[in-house]
Structures are given as C-alpha cells and as structure tokens.
Structure 1
Amino acid sequence: MPERLAPDWNSPPTEVAIILSNIGMLEEAIQALIEAEPVARGWAHFHFTRGNMLMWLRRYEDAAEAFRHTLKIKPQFVAAMVNRAVALTALGRYKEVAKLAPQLAHHGGPRCARPEQWLEYFPRMSELAVRRASEPKRSTV
C-alpha cells in the first residue's frame, strides 16, 4: 500500500479509496477510508470523498455528516454545500436545506425553488426526486 511510504501522509489512502470507488467497489472504498481516517481526518477532501461514496450507497445520514465535517474544515467548499443539501433533501430535512440555501447562493452555488430540485445535483438521485415530487408537499420552512 502507498501509505506505507509515508504513514502520516493523508493523500495516498484516500486516493486508494477513490480508485476502489471508481471501479464500483464502494464497500471496499468505505473500508479504505475507515483505515485512512487516522491520518486524513483533518483533510476536507477526505470527508468530501467519504460523503460522496456514502451518497452512492444511499447512506444519506452518514453522507450529510461527512459533508458537515468537510464544511467545518473548508467552510466555502461549494460542492460540499450542494451535496449536503442533496443528502438533507433525501432525508426530508428541508428546514436545514433552507438554512444552507442563502450561503450557497452567496458563494455562487445553485438556487432551487423547490426542495426536490436539490436531488438533481447528484447523479442517481433522479429516481428519488421523482418519488419526492409525487409525495404530498411539505413545508419548506
């Protein structure tokens, strides 16, 4: 493993997880991230990568938390804000999404009039967007 070359270097173990994810080995990728966490936990890209993988696995609660960690480290990371909004929308937590929206707009991120529109910003979420759109409307505030 590349991390043996420099055990405190955070990039190689995270990149191994990305490679595993790219070839469809998501559970193995998550395991690689678990192993990488001791050296990578202070790196925004690590948490962002973990959040994306958790989104693909439909583990939205865990993904939202990973994106929250990303934003603690790098508060203006627009892609992490968008993906957090998507995860929270998938969970039906529209009030939290509404709190993120002004910050996203301020940093040049997308603006969505309806909560289910956030789901369009992450691949494979269109099925959930269609299902959410057909549900009775909830208050967005």
Structure 2
Amino acid sequence: MNLIQQACQHAPHKDLCIDILKNDPNSKGADLTGLAYIAIRLAGAYASEVDAHLRSLLINNATTLSPVVQQGVADCIEHYSDANEQLDDCIAAMSTKNFKDVEVWVNVAISDADYCDDSFSGEKSVVLQKNEAFRQLCNNVLAVVKALPPHGKE
C-alpha cells in the first residue's frame, strides 16, 4: 500500500481522499506528516473559497435574497471564518505533533459547516453542497492524522 492509500485508509470516502491528495503536486515524495499538512491546506483553501463565494453572494444578490437567506449567508460567513481559524490552529498543532488538538480543531471546523447549514432557519441552504464538500475535506484531514504514528514517529 502506498503512503497516500495508507493515509486515506480511514477516510469515509477513500477514493475521493486518494484522488485529492494524489492530484496535489506537493504530495509527490511527501511523508505521512506532509500529507497531513497538505490535507489541512486543501481544507483551508476550500473554506476560503466558500467564504469568498458567500461574500460575493451577499453583495451581488443583496436585493433579491430573502432576509432569512441573507442572515443565513451572513452567519455562514462567520462560521467559515471560524473554520479557517480552526484549520490555522491545526497547522500549529501539527508542528508540535499534537495530533489530538488537530482532531479537535478539525471537528470544530466540521461543526462550523453544520452550523452554516442550520443558519437558514428552514430555508434551503445556498451552500449545502459546498458544506458537504468541506466536511469531506475535513474528514480527509482526520483520516490522514489517524494514519500518523503516535508522537509523529514515521
């Protein structure tokens, strides 16, 4: 089993995890710790992308969105800002090989996506698919961290 397959063995969507890591040019020659950093970076980049999409949606559709959806989008922006901070904290925790904290922060980021979905008070979430994709990226981080040897010894 190659390292990417090993890293993704605990992922709920193994094929997706493998494809995403394999397609990142930085994964060539990366060890498991490097793959964890890549997974975190990819989740963070996607969180930033969702945040930018939400801000654009709010600005460009301010007069056509219902007040409930406007509030939901504004709440989601806050949640994705928080998720990005959690993923930044993961980088710091990885550098000290504190994998338990990485797991905690990633789970908080996943909760942020859940709260985003809940922000629409019964209206259809305008970012339901993006939230699901973000959760999958975060689950990839959890899978790779779970594959790391204890105390970061590879």
TM-score of the two chains, using structure 2 as the length reference: 0.27
TM-score of the two chains, using structure 1 as the length reference: 0.29
Which structure has the higher relative contact order (CA within 8 Å, separation 6+)?
2
More helix by percentage? 2
